[in-house]
């Protein structure tokens, strides 16, 4: 590998989104891409399948969590075309590749290439918002971020008035320099 290629790999890490994995002969193309680009992370994906599942979810036709390898039909009101499309997505995408690949692609880019962590604002006594949603918010922070960084990410006033924080899962007090981990749930105490 020459110097320019090595520098590009280090400074501009790349993921290949092998889209349209649901199309006939796509498996051959995927194998060719893997052979031609052995030093890249290659994620097979089907954006059309993910979009169709999200649209069905929005219309409450199915239960689906992005990234899952299955969905549940929640209505009997599907026409034959919709049934066939959902059956195709399950058999040709989810069963073969374990997901549509879209959530995998996002996770790989955010958590591995960019090295971010997901941190949830929560309370020691309540993890729900006013509508009853459990941990509805999530903030992405660079790995190595502190409780104070998290406070500033929420709002400048919260960061400026930071007193202490609580690790909600461990139920302990943490200081402003405490390094946060992926999936931490943190409550911030402020002066005001």
- Dist CA 66 CA 75 (whole Å): 19
Domain range list for the chain: 3-110, 116-190
Token pair belonging to 121: 């604002």
Q: What are the backbone dihedrals phi and psi of residue 97, each rounded to the nearest 5 degrees, phi first?
A: -115, 0
pLDDT on residue 1: 61
Q: Which CATH topology does 3-110 take?
A: Rossmann fold (3.40.50)
Query: What are the residue ranges in the chain where pLDDT is below 50?
Result: none
Domains 3-110 and 116-190 share a fold: no
If you average pLDDT over every residue of the chain, what do you get? 92
pTM attached to this predicted model: 0.81
Q: Tens digits of per-residue pLDDT, 79-97?
A: 999 999 999 999 999 999 9
Q: Tens digits of per-residue pLDDT, 145-156?
A: 999 999 999 999
Token pair belonging to 108: 């790989």
pLDDT on residue 36: 94
Q: Tens digits of per-residue pLDDT, 13-31?
A: 889 999 999 999 999 999 9
148-163 core/surface letters (b: 16 or more CB in 10 A; e: else):
bbbbbbeeeebbeebe
* 116-190 CATH pick, 3.30.420.40, 3.40.1670.10, 3.10.20.30, 3.40.50.1000: 3.10.20.30
């Amino acid at each position: 590998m020459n110097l320019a290629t090595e520098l590009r790999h280090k400074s501009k890490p790349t993921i290949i989104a092998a889209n349209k994995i649901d199309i006939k002969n796509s498996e051959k193309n995927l194998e060719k891409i893997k052979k031609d680009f052995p030093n890249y992370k290659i994620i097979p994906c089907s954006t059309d399948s993910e979009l169709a599942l999200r649209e069905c979810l929005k219309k409450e036709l199915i239960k689906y969590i992005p990234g899952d390898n299955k969905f549940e039909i929640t209505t009997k009101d599907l026409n034959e075309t919709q049934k066939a499309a959902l059956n195709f997505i399950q058999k040709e995408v989810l069963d073969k590749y374990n997901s549509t690949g879209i959530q995998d692609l996002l996770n790989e880019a955010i958590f591995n290439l960019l090295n971010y962590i997901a941190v949830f604002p929560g309370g020691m006594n309540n993890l729900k918002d006013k509508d009853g949603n459990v941990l509805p918010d999530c903030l992405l922070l660079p790995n190595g971020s502190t409780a104070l960084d998290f406070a500033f990410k929420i709002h400048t006033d919260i960061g400026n008035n930071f007193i202490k924080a609580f690790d909600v899962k461990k139920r302990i007090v943490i200081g402003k320099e405490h390094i946060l981990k992926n999936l931490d749930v943190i409550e911030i105490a402020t002066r005001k």
